[in-house]
Structure 1
Amino acid sequence: MNTYQLKELKLIQPGNMKKLLFILPLAFLFACSATTTDEGDRKAKEQLLQDYRQQATELKQKIAQLEKELGTTKADKTIPVKVDTIAQKLFTHTIEVTGNVEANEDITVAPETPGNIISIVVTEGQHVKKGTVMGRLNTEAIQRNIEDLQIQLELAKTVFERQQKLWDQHIGSEIEYLQAKSNKESLERKLEGLQAQLDMATIKSPIDGVVDRIYQKQGEIAGPAIPFAKVVNISNVRIYADVSESYLTSIHAGQEVEINFPALNKTVTAPIFRKSSTINPDNRTFQVRINLNNPDKEIRPNLVSLLHITDYKAADAIVVPSILIKNDFNGKYVFVAAENSGKWKASKRYVETGRNNNNYTMLSKGLKPGEKLIVEGYEQVVDGSPISIN
C-alpha cells in the first residue's frame, strides 16, 4: 500500500469524519453563490446594452430631425450638385466572348508514294506558289522500270506497225494483228503508270502560302501517312468563338461584330459568317464563325481575339450611369432635381431597370425626358434636400 492510499484511510477515520462533513456544505454554498453572482452580472450587462441601444436610436432620430430643420429653414445651406437633362437615345447591349484564329488554308503536305528523301529544296518561312517543288524522293527503281518499258514499247510498236501493214494488205491472220495492238497498248498504259509514280515522288506545294514547318530531314523515309511539311496561307483567316446558348435567338449571321486583338492592339469590324446548327452539350454553347481578310498578315493562327457582339438594341431608351442607381427597402432609386417656387430640391425617384452595358443601365420606368438627373453630389443629398445647380 502506497502513501497516497494511507492518507485516504486516515481521512475516513472517525476523528476526521466531522471535519469532512463541515467542509462539504461550505463548498456547496460557495458554488451556489458564484453562480448567482455570474447570472446577476449577465442580466445587468444585457439591460445596460438595451439602454445604450435605445439611447442610440433616440439620438439618430434627433440628429435626423435637426438636419431636416436646418435644411428647410436656412436657404444658404444648399448642397451644390451637377445635373444632366434626361434624353432618349440609342442603347445597345453587347456581350464579350473569346475567339480563336485559324488560317483559311492550313495544309499538311505529304508525298503520294513512299520513298527515301534525297533532297529538300525549300526552307521554313519561304513563300511558295501552288505546284512549287518542295522535295524529291529516290526514284531510281522507277526510272529503271521506265527505261525497260520504253525498250519493250519500242519493239511492240515496231511489231504492231508491221502487222498493221500486213493486215491492210489482207496478209496474215487477224489474231496476230490484235495481239500486236494489245501488247503495244498494254505497255503504253504501264509506262503512263510508272511516269505517274515518278511524278508523285516529287513533293509539291498544293497551295500558295508560306512553308511554316518542315517535319522531315533528308535521308528519312517519307510516305503518304507521314507529314513532310506544313504550308499555310493567312491572307484570309477565320475566327471561331463559343457563345452561351442563352443568346441563341439574338445572334444571327450577318451581324456586325467588333473584334479586338489585345496582342496587336488592333480592332476591326466584320460580320458573322454563320452560327453552328448544334449546341455543345459539354458547355452549353453554340459556335459562330467570322471570315476576315488579312492582307498585311498581322493576324496569325491561334491568336486570341475578343469579340463584342451586340445582342440587343433600343432606339429611344432612357439610359443613366449605373453608379447613380441606389437601393433601399422599397427598391431602386435615383435623385432628380425638382423645382418648387423657384427653389431646387433633391427628389428621390424610384425606377425600374432593364439591361445594363458598359456601366450604363437602361430604365424601363421612373424617369421622363427633360427631367434633371443629379450626377454629382448625389451622395450628399436625401429626399427633400435643398440644392444649388452648378
Structure 2
Amino acid sequence: MEKKKKKKAWLMAGVIILVVIMISVSVFRQVSAKAPSVKTVKTSEEEISSLLMIPGAIKLQEEQIVYPSPDKGELKEILVQEGQTVKKGTVLAKLQNAQLELETEQNKLALESANLKIDQINQKMKQFKDKEKALIDQIGKEEAKKQLDPEHEQLDMEQKMANLDLKQAMLQKDMISKRQSELEIKSLLDGIVLSVKKPGESSVTAANAEPIVHIGKLDGMVASGLLSEFDTLKVKSGQKVIVRSDAVPGTEWQGEIMNVALIPQQNQTAIQNGNQAVQYPVAIKITGDTNSLKPGFQVIMEIETDKKVAIVLPIDAVHDDGDKPFVYLIKNGKAYKQDVKTGITSGKKIEILQGVSKGENVIIHGPNSIKDGMEVTEQ
C-alpha cells in the first residue's frame, strides 16, 4: 500500500514538473515573439558616390609596335634584342628594297646628265658672248642683234630645259632619300624591347602578320574600356577609379580618368544586325606599384560618379516587397514600417532621398518575421 502511495506521489510530481516546463516554454515563446531582438543604426549624413563598373584591359601607356612593311622593303636585319633598353631614335631594324636601289642609281645618272647638259650650255653661252662681242665690233649692235637673236633664243630655251631636268632629278632625289630613311626603322620612345620576332616568308605578306619588334614603357600602365553613350554623361577627366583584376585577387589599384574619346567606336556586329550600338573608349591612368600587372590583363574598373553628401543607410536596412522600398523605424520600443525613396548605391550603402530624417533609428538586422507595430528590443 505504501509503495503505491510513493508511486502515485512520484507520478504527480512528474506531471507537475512537466506542466511547469510547458508553461515556461510557452511563456518564453510569448516573450520572444513579443519582443524580438534587433540591431539598429542611427541615420546620418555621409559622403556617397555611385560606382560605374565597366570591364577593360591593361595596356602600356606608351608603346611602339613594328609590323613587316613589304611595301617599303624586305626585312634585312633586326638590330635589337628582347629585354634591351633603347633610346628614342635608336635604329631597331633595317629593310632592303632592290627596286629603290635601282631607282637610286637611275637618279644618280639623271643628275649627272642634267649637270653635264648645264655645263655644256654654259660653255655654249660663253662662246655665244664672245661671238656676239666680235660681231658687234664688225657690224654694230643693232645689226648683230638681228643676226644672233635666233641662236640666243635657242640657247636660252636649252638652258631652261636643262634647269628643269636638274630640278626634276633633285625632287626625285629628295623622294628617294625619304624612302631610304624609311628603310631604317627607329624607336619613337625611350623604353624596353618587349619582344623580337623575325617573320618567315609567309608572314611578311600575310594580312595578319605578327609584329617584328614591340617596345614599351613598363613604368606606365593604363586601363582601357568602353562606355555607353549614357555613361559618358557621368564620366569626365580626373574622376577617381578603382581597378581590380581576377589575375591578382585581393589587390586593387587607384587610378583616374585620363580621357573619354569624342568619337565613338562602333560595334560592327551590332551594325550588321541593324542595332547601332555606340560605345566610347575611355582611358584610365593607374598610379602606384603596377609591377604585378601585365599588358593584356582583364580588369574591372569602378568609376566614382555623382559624389555628394546625403542621408545614407546600410543597404541591408532597405527592404522591397514589390511595391515600394521601405525600412523599419524604432519608436517607443516598436517597429514601424516606413516607405522610402532611394537614390544612388555605393558599395554596401544606399542614399535615402525621402522617408527618414537624420538621427532616426532604423533596424538593420532582425528576424524576418518583423511586422509593422511589433514590439522589439534593441541589441
Equivalent of 2:282 in 270, 273, 289: 289
Asked whether 1:199 is paired with 2:174, we answer no
Aligned pairs for 1:30-45 (under 5 A) are none
Contact 2:91 2:185 in 1 (8 A): yes
2:316 counterpart SS class: helix
**Does 1 or 2 have the higher relative contact order (CA < 8 Å, sep 6+)?**
2
CA 1:176–1:374 in 2, change beyond 3 Å: closer, same or farther?
closer
1:273 counterpart SS class: strand
Tell me the CA shift for residue 376 of structure 1.
5.1
Q: Which residue of 2 aligns with 1:9?
A: none
Equivalent of 2:310 in 291, 316, 327: 316
State the distance in 2 between where 1:307 and 1:71 align: 50
State the distance in 1 between where 2:93 and 2:75 align: 7
Q: Which residue of 2 aligns with 1:363?
A: 352
Q: Which residue of 1 aligns with 2:140?
A: none
Contact 1:116 1:219 in 2 (8 A): no
Asked whether 1:126 is paired with 2:114, we answer no
Give the letter aligned to residue 119 of structure 1.
E
Contact 2:253 2:286 in 1 (8 A): no
- Aligned Cα root-mean-square deviation (Å): 4.6
Structure 1 alignment gaps of length 5 or more: 1-62, 340-344
CA 1:193–1:232 in 2, change beyond 3 Å: closer, same or farther?
same
Tell me the CA shift for residue 98 of structure 1.
0.9
Tell me the CA shift for residue 224 of structure 1.
12
Give the letter aligned to residue 253 of structure 2.
T
Q: Which residue of 1 aligns with 2:43?
A: 86
1:286 counterpart SS class: strand
2:122 counterpart SS class: helix
Tell me the CA shift for residue 354 of structure 1.
1.3
Q: Which residue of 2 aligns with 1:261?
A: 244
CA 1:71–1:229 in 2, change beyond 3 Å: closer, same or farther?
same
Give the letter aligned to residue 350 of structure 1.
Q
CA 1:198–1:385 in 2, change beyond 3 Å: closer, same or farther?
closer
CA 1:215–1:240 in 2, change beyond 3 Å: closer, same or farther?
same
Q: Which residue of 2 aligns with 1:24?
A: none
CA 1:137–1:269 in 2, change beyond 3 Å: closer, same or farther?
closer
Q: String of CA shifts for 1:16-36, please: whole Å, max 9, x gaps.
A: xxxxxxxxxxxxxxxxxxxxx
2:198 counterpart SS class: coil
Contact 2:38 2:376 in 1 (8 A): no
Equivalent of 2:224 in 229, 232, 240: 240
Give the letter aligned to residue 267 of structure 1.
W
CA 1:352–1:162 in 2, change beyond 3 Å: closer, same or farther?
same
Give the letter aligned to residue 225 of structure 2.
A
TM-score computed with the length of structure 2 as normaliser: 0.61
Aligned pairs for 1:168-247 (under 5 A) are 168=126, 170-171=129-130, 174=155, 175=157, 177-178=159-160, 181=163, 184-185=166-167, 187-217=169-199, 229-234=212-217, 239-243=223-227, 247=231
State the distance in 2 between where 1:247 and 1:188 align: 56
Tell me the CA shift for residue 297 of structure 1.
6.7
CA 1:275–1:150 in 2, change beyond 3 Å: closer, same or farther?
closer
Q: Larger Cα Rg: Structure 1 or Structure 2?
A: 1
Give the letter aligned to residue 357 of structure 2.
K
CA 1:149–1:309 in 2, change beyond 3 Å: closer, same or farther?
closer
CA 1:378–1:346 in 2, change beyond 3 Å: closer, same or farther?
farther
Q: String of CA shifts for 1:204-249, please: whole Å, max 9, x gaps.
A: 3455444444453488896898776243434656543334556465
State the distance in 1 between where 2:359 and 2:306 align: 25
Q: Which residue of 1 aligns with 2:362?
A: 373
Q: Which residue of 2 aligns with 1:304?
A: 298
Q: String of CA shifts for 1:251-292, please: whole Å, max 9, x gaps.
A: 142361413132353311313622556586559563341242
Aligned-residue identity in percent:
17
Tell me the CA shift for residue 308 of structure 1.
1.5
- Say how many residue pairs are matched: 314
Contact 1:260 1:268 in 2 (8 A): yes
Contact 1:101 1:238 in 2 (8 A): yes
Give the letter aligned to residue 243 of structure 2.
N
Which deviates more from structure 2 when the two are superposed, residues 362-371 or residues 282-291?
282-291
